[in-house]
Amino acid sequence: MTKITLPELGEGIDQATVACIHFRQGDTIEQEDDLLEVVTDKATFNVAAGTAGVVKEILVKEHQEVKIGETLALIEP
């Protein structure tokens, strides 16, 4: 199982808000696909799956604040 986490987005950015989730549990996802989009003050950032497989679990909801390094989803390769 591969954990998808919120990457470092820059100095002084500790968290971001989930704006859109593009996949649902059970969906097949490709490595290059954007799994979800987070937003900071003036920037949106697309979090890529980074690995191909099946989305086993999405651990966050839209509008939820997430911290850098927090697990967002689990993908089974």
Partner 1 sequence: MWSGVFHMNKTMSLLKTQVLDLGTIDYAQAYPLQKSHVQQVLSQGIQTLLLCEHPPVITLGRLADEKNLLVSSHLIKERGVSLYPIDRGGDITLHAPGQLVVYPIFDLRHYGKDLHLFLHKLEQVIIDLLADFGIVAGRQSGRTGVWYQDQKIASLGIGVRQWVSYHGFAVNINTDLNLFSLIKPCGLDVSMTSMAKIKGRIYPMEEIKEKVIQQMTQHFNLQTQGS
- For residue 55, give both structure tokens: 């989305």
- Is 63 in contact with 17 (CB distance < 8 Å)? yes
Q: Output the smallest distance, CB 5 to partner 1, in A.
A: 15
**Residue with Cβ nearer partner 1 (39 or 52):** 39
Task: Provide the terminal-to-terminal Cα distance of the chain, rounded to the nearest Å.
Answer: 7
**Residue with Cβ nearer partner 1 (18 or 73):** 18
Judging by DSSP bridges, how do beta strands 65-67 and 71-76 pair with one another? unpaired
Contacts with partner 1, residue ranges (CB under 8 A): 8-13, 19-20, 32, 34, 37, 39-46, 48
Q: Output the smallest distance, CB 25 to partner 1, in A.
A: 23
Q: Output the smallest distance, CB 72 to partner 1, in A.
A: 16
